[in-house]
Amino acid sequence: MKKYNIALLGATGAVGQEMLKVLEEYDIPVNKLLPLASARSAGGYVKFKGEDILIEEATFDSFAGMDFVLGAVENDMSKKFAPAIVKSGAVFIDNSSAFRLDPDVPLVVPEINGEDAFKNKGIISNPNCSSIITMMALGGIAKLSPIKSLVACTYQAVSGAGQNGLMELENQMSQIAKGEEPEVKVFPTQIALNVIPFIGSELDNLYTDEEMKMQNEGRRILHAPDLTVSCSCVRVPVMRSHSIAVTVRTERKISVAEANEAIRNFPGCRLVEDYKGRNYPTPLDTSDQDLVWVGRVRDDLTSDNGLTLWCCGDQIRKGAASNAVQILKKLIS
């Protein structure tokens, strides 16, 4: 079996750490693993298959001899290193939003549009975590009839803001328990015992850039250039796994029974019909695994061709790390 040289750009962050874990779980045939990070984080070690592997500082020369580079860094770093990665001959599977809307860069969810990955010119983009989870829940329905529009509300865990988001919720919960004033640093207001209906930066249309990702990325993933989406993104005091309430309107009427069957048979999805006495998943049910769980499928009461459903998925895994490794696995298979 051929083995591959794989660099991990951003090896010390939450998504980078999860990528390491998923590479091992998926038994990707790795010849050499090269963990890369900033100068501040270089010199430490990561664990991979029982070995301690030195973290090196990322430079423009780091990618020579690599077959794949998994990116788990912010947009500016992805843009900075992308030319050097492509020049080296490696394929860059990038988790940032830097190239998601670039028409020359495939935006891929393997179960939905995996063949797009083979059209890459050296860069493949991972979609936004909420986009991945939502499109996975709708992937089976889209096979029955083209999707015309979505109305979605995302309930996003604090881990979507990285390690600092997790720490802020933990710290605030501890401070409240002690009767202290919660300290606010990461989020615009207190997140413990609260919800914040605003994620990202506000655009001219009064939606945020995070909310517009569902439409802009959904069009590319589903190959539906006319898809319209109205989305509200809400930060909730949940550690891990995003949830989405979505109403989907299709070209033809899809019955609840048809939708359930399509979801049940769609790879990477789990239809929740009777789980511990309930017909819906929760973030806790779906954390630390790769399936998108879907429940409460019902007719939309505002349109003839609509369905409403609830879905949950681990945004660090399927929403980021696992999706990237699944793309890699598809390319080498």
Give SS3 for 251. Answer: coil
What pLDDT band is residue 176 in, cutting at 50, 70 and 90? very high
Start-to-end C-alpha separation, the chain = 11
Structural contact between residues 30 and 6, judged by C-beta atoms closer than 8 angstroms: yes
With CA atoms as reference, report the closest residue to 15 among 119, 132, 110, 107.
132
Predicted pLDDT at 156? 98
Predicted pLDDT at 1? 82
Cα 40 to Cα 44, 70, 163, 167, 308: the distances in Å are 10, 20, 16, 20, 47
| Residue-averaged pLDDT of the chain | 97
What's the whole-number mean pLDDT along residues 36-55?
A: 94
More confident residue, 163 or 87: 87
State the Cα–Cα distance between residues 143 and 20, nearest whole angstrom: 33
What pLDDT band is residue 144 in, cutting at 50, 70 and 90? very high
> What tokens does 68 get?
């794949």
Predicted pLDDT at 232? 98
Summarised one tens digit per residue, pLDDT across range 233-267 is 999 999 999 999 999 999 999 999 999 999 999 99
Residue 65 pLDDT more than 90?
yes
State the Cα–Cα distance between residues 100 and 85, nearest whole angstrom: 17
CA geometry: angle 292, 246, 217, nearest 5 deg: 75
Summarised one tens digit per residue, pLDDT across range 263-296 is 999 999 999 999 999 999 999 999 999 999 999 9
Lowest-pLDDT range, 11-15, 63-67, 81-85, 178-182? 11-15
Summarised one tens digit per residue, pLDDT across range 111-123 is 999 999 999 999 9
Residue 163 pLDDT more than 90?
no
Write down all domains in the chain, each with its CATH number in brackets: 4-127+320-332 (3.40.50.720), 131-315 (3.30.360.10)
With CA atoms as reference, report the closest residue to 98 among 180, 196, 213.
213
Residues 6+ apart with CB under 8 A from 218: 131, 134, 135, 150, 224, 227, 229
Predicted pLDDT at 138? 98
What pLDDT band is residue 45 in, cutting at 50, 70 and 90? very high
Owner of token pair 């969810």:
109
What percentage of the chain exceeds 90 in pLDDT?
98
State the Cα–Cα distance between residues 326 and 329, nearest whole angstrom: 5
Catalytic annotation, residues: 129, 242
Q: How many CA atoms lie within 13 A of 284 on its CB side?
A: 2
